[in-house]
Amino acid sequence: MSLTLKEQITEDMKTAMRAKDIERLGTVRLLLAAIKQKEVDERVVLDNAAVVAIVDKLIKQRKDSIEAFQKAARTDLADKESAEMKILQAYLPARMSADEVSAAVKAIVAELGASGPGEMGRVMGAVKTRLAGKADMGQVSAAVKAALAG
């Protein structure tokens, strides 16, 4: 029986506690807290896709923080955020390559019969549901813009 992503994260927390891996434990606890918060707020049990969305959001926050800390010449804090980001990335499924993203976006644009920048919202809605957790959304957005411009 394979574990759900949430169960795997809980197991990783227990392992980090036993190993006294303070950095991993802190990051994993932060992730579990974000998952529990969403479950309590929405009164639901999150599936793997929803957990991946939370991991994605936390990674994006880390990227933004790293950028800010590097601009402020705080490499110590940037390194801490970077270490947390690496731990979080382990929970993401394998990502699609730029070529795969581009091909998937082109197929969805053709399927919807969309053309022109005015269709960006409609296409992004369809793309997000299909590629959530499988691709970097920044990359996806750029591919949608390119597909609609061409």
CATH of domain 98-149: 1.10.10.410
Render pLDDT for 40-55 as a digit per residue (tens, 0 to 9): 999 999 888 889 889 9
Q: How far is CA 79 from CA 13, 21, 30, in A?
A: 21, 17, 17
Contact between residue 31 and residue 8 where contact means Cβ atoms under 8 Å apart: no
Render pLDDT for 106-145 as a digit per residue (tens, 0 to 9): 888 888 787 777 777 887 888 887 777 677 777 888 888 8
Q: Give the Cα separation of 34 and 100 in Å (integer).
A: 30
Looking at domain 5-89, does it have CATH number 1.10.1510.10? yes
**Domain map (residue ranges) of the chain:** 5-89, 98-149
pTM exceeds 0.75, yes or no: no
Return the structure tokens found at 123.
């296409």
- Closest by alpha carbon to 60, among 147, 139, 6, 126? 139
